[in-house]
Each structure stands twice: as structure tokens, then as C-alpha cells.
Amino acid sequence: MMFGLITYLCRWISLASLILFLQGGVLFAQSTDVSFLKQELQRVYKTKSEDSINSFIDKYYSEQGNDTLIRNEAVRIRNEFAWQETQNKNTLEAYKRFVSLYPNSVQAVFAQQKITTLTKQEQKQDNSQAYQKAKQQDNIEAYQFFIDNYPSSQWVQYAKERITQLQQQYYLNTLSQALNVYSFSSLLQIDSLSKTNSDINFDSVLTVFAFGYVQNGDTKRFDKLLTQYPQLKKDTNFTVLQNDSKVLEYLLSSPLLDKKARKGFSKYFNNLINDNSLLLLKKYGIQYQIGQTLDEQSLGFESPIMLVDSATGVVLHTFVSNKKNGLFFYYKTLKPSYLIAMQRGYLSQPYKIEVTNDTVQIIQHSIASVIEDKKLFVLPLTSIALKGTKLSAISKTYFSTLSRSIENVPEMITLQTLEAVKIKEYMVSLGANSAKIVASNQVGADQEYLLQIGFIDQ
């Protein structure tokens, strides 16, 4: 009995469900009536809402079909609402969203154009901000980072130019450290730069650096240089300096040598080869004073130096000034008649040494600069005046040196002084070309004690 009741209830429920389903179908058919859809579309149109139109389309039309006039109108309205809202926002993200949601809409073409425009503007703004950041840091790494990340930026060329400037500045600073302070690490940096920059002549930098670096005579510095740059072994001047440093090191470490034994090392007692030279003189108790040869630019230069007794014309000692700074030394035991004579390639007067002088500085004009400037070189004759009808001993020393100095000068030499003829005769006797020397004894009273030396183009 109970089982029959249950069966009856199940049949009744199934029948009720079927009736309800059929009734729903009738209602759905009624709800999708054309007039109803038009009314519904008018209702959602008034909302001016993109979401409301989309809800209408989703509710009454499938995405795959049902392309009716009403649906097409709904899609058109929806696209207009969405486009208006996108234009109101006017952002790159809004236009990208529109294209992503409605790629087949008429407005999608305009949206894509706006995307292109705004993307360029955004990139330009990003580029400008990135470039300003690089400018604030103002270093090679910052500019290179900008170039790598914004290769199409309008600022790339400026960044490249600034990198070139900074590289040149870095090179000059490093070069200054290498050649003024003789920093070995700076030399290595220049070497590294030269491998990527063909404009850097590292060999010339190395040569200048090497001679300054070893000026103190430390033999360990020679070894350090040769280990890193063995090509210096081919530089004869460098190897001579290395040998000189070893000899000086030996002399400084050896027992005292007597005067006779020192003759075999006379070179090292007469020249400022390196910083150890003066230490050597101190060790052997030799009294000396410092001198310096300077050109018209106050720069030191290498030159033979002669200590001359003006009373006899005898050259007592010869020295060589250091080519780096022009320094030389002379023995302190002096007489009032002692003079320091001039040297080849320069026009100078013999310098009278005062015993009280701590340092002698001789500023001289090079013959080349005198010729270039077309000026006269005026020399007081107080130290080289005639003795009777003959030139003094120091005069002969001076003019013999002058003869050697001008032997390769193509210009004609002019001498103007009361003793000009005598001077010319003496210079010709030494081998000077008579046709190249013009001597004039016709001078004014105010020029009697001056020698004017000039040069005339032939």
C-alpha cells in the first residue's frame, strides 16, 4: 500500500514539472516578442550605460548568432556608449581596453590610432625623464644605461656625445695622474683605454711615463716596468738609465772610494742622473750647489753646462742639466772669476756665480724662438769685454759656444757692438761661415756695453 502511494506521488511531481517547463517556454516566447525587445532596448538606452546594454545583449541574444536588427542596433548603441566613456577617460589603458573588448567596432580604428599617439607621447615622456636622470648622475654608466634602454630616443645622440666628452675628460685626468704624479695604476688604465681607442698613442705615453717613473733611481721600479712592458728593453735610453741606476745603487752601498778610484765613475759625480746622484755626493762629502736651466717659458731643459774660470778661459768642469726639470749641480769651492757658461742651442750670457747663492737659475732664450720672433737678443758685455785689443778668455769661451750653436742655422747672423769685428774674426777662426756673419761697430753711446745678436732671412 505504502509503495503504491510513493509511486503515485513521483508521477504527480513529474507531471507538474513538465507543465511548469511548458508554461516557462510560453513565457520566454512571449518575453522575446519583437515589440517587447524594442521596449526593453529603449529602457536600457535611457540608462546610457555600457553595462546595461551588454546585459541586454547577453540576456536575449547569444554571442554566436541571432544577428537581428534589434541586436545590431543594441551593439551599435553599446559601442557608442563605450567609445564616449573611453574618450572621456582619454588614457592609453582605456583605449587599449576598448580595442580588446570591441575589436570589430567602427571606433576600434580610431582607438588604435589614439593608442599609437599616446604610446609615442608616453615613450617620449619616459625618455625625457630617463635622460634627465642620466644627466643628474652625469657619468658614463648612466648615459650608457639610457642608450641601451631607449635606443630610439631623440636624446640618444646627446647621451653619446656626453659619453665621448666624459671619456676624454677621464682620459686627460688619468693621463695627468700618469705623467705628473707617475701613478702606475693610471698608466695601466691608459693602456686599457688604448685597446679600444685608436686615437690614444700608448707607446708615446709609456715612454714619457717610464723616464719620469724611474727618475728617483729605484731599481725596483725598472723591474716593475719591464715586467709589465718588456718592450722597454728595446729602448736604448731606458736601458742606459737602468744601468746608471744600478751603478749608483752600487756606489751608495759600497765602502768609501778615494778620489783616484772615483775617476772611473766620474760620470756619476758630474751629472744629475737621478735622485740618488745627490745622495752619492753627500756620501763622499763633496760640496755642491744646485743650478737650473730654464727656457723663456720657465720650463727646464737638458743641456751641457760648463764651469769656466773667466781669468784663464779654462773649463774646470762640465755638467749636464736634467732634461725633466733643468737641474744641475756644481762644486761649491768657487773663485770670484768663476762663471757658468752657456750651452748649445741657446743664447745666454755667462752667469757670474755668487758664493752666497743657494740656487742658480739661468733663464735663456732658445735660438729657435729668437729666430721665430724675429727679435734681437741683447747681451750685456760686462763679463766678456775686450782686454786691450784681444778678446778675454771668457769671451772666447762664449763665442766658441755661440759658433757651435748657430752652425746649422740657415739665417744670417748680425752682431752689433764696439767689438763686433773682433768677435766675427774669432768666430770665423773657429770655422764659422764668414758670409753668414754681419758685424757692425757703429753703435750709439747707450749701446757700447751691449751685444745685439739678430737673425736675417737670406
Model-level pTM greater than 0.85? no
Give the model confidence (pLDDT) of 379-425 as tens digits: 776 555 565 567 777 777 778 878 877 778 888 888 888 888 888 88
pLDDT at 151: 82
pLDDT at 4: 44
In which domain, by residue range, is 338 found?
287-456
pLDDT at 20: 38
Q: Could you tell me how many residues make up the chain?
A: 458
Residue 52 falls inside a structural domain: no
pLDDT at 14: 42
Q: What is the mean pLDDT of residues 131-151?
A: 87
Q: Which residues pair with 346 in a beta bridge?
A: 366
pLDDT at 240: 92
Give the model confidence (pLDDT) of 312-367 as tens digits: 777 777 777 877 788 888 777 677 777 777 666 677 666 666 656 667 777 777 78
Q: What is the mean pLDDT of residues 73-99?
A: 85
Q: Please give the share of the chain, as a percent, with pLDDT higher than 70.
A: 84
Q: H/E element holding 251?
A: helix 236-253
Q: Which long-range contacts does 232-238 make (Cβ < 8 Å, 24+ apart)? A: 232/206, 235/207, 235/210, 237/211, 238/210, 238/211, 238/214
Residue 446 falls inside a structural domain: yes
Judged against a pLDDT cut of 80, whether residue 275 lies above it is answered with: yes
Residue 306 falls inside a structural domain: yes
pLDDT at 122: 65
Rounded CA-CA distance 202/192 in Å is 9
CB distance 216 to 276 below 8 Å: yes
Angle between helices 69-89 and 92-101 (to 10 degrees): 170
pLDDT at 13: 39
Judged against a pLDDT cut of 80, whether residue 178 lies above it is answered with: yes
| Count of structural domains, the chain | 2
Residue 27 falls inside a structural domain: yes
CB distance 455 to 412 below 8 Å: yes
Residues 6+ apart with CB under 8 A from 411: 371, 455, 456, 457, 458
* Residue 26 pLDDT class (50, 70, 90 cuts): very low
Residue 246 falls inside a structural domain: no
Rounded CA-CA distance 178/201 in Å is 14
More reliable by pLDDT, 330 or 27: 330
Residue 325 falls inside a structural domain: yes
Whole-number average pLDDT of the chain: 79
Residue 47 falls inside a structural domain: no
pLDDT at 1: 42
pLDDT at 79: 85
pLDDT at 290: 83
Residue 374 falls inside a structural domain: yes
The helices-and-strands tally (H runs, E runs) of the chain is 18, 15
pLDDT at 8: 40
Q: Which long-range contacts does 11-14 make (Cβ < 8 Å, 24+ apart)? A: none
Q: Which residue shows C-alpha cell 577617460? A: 89
Least confident of 116-130, 240-254, 398-412, 444-458: 116-130
Q: Please give the share of the chain, as a percent, with pLDDT higher than 90.
A: 13
More reliable by pLDDT, 84 or 28: 84
Supply the CATH number for residue 356's domain: 2.60.40.1120
3-class SS of residue 336: coil
Give the model confidence (pLDDT) of 194-242 as tens digits: 998 888 899 999 998 998 899 888 999 999 999 999 999 999 989 999 9
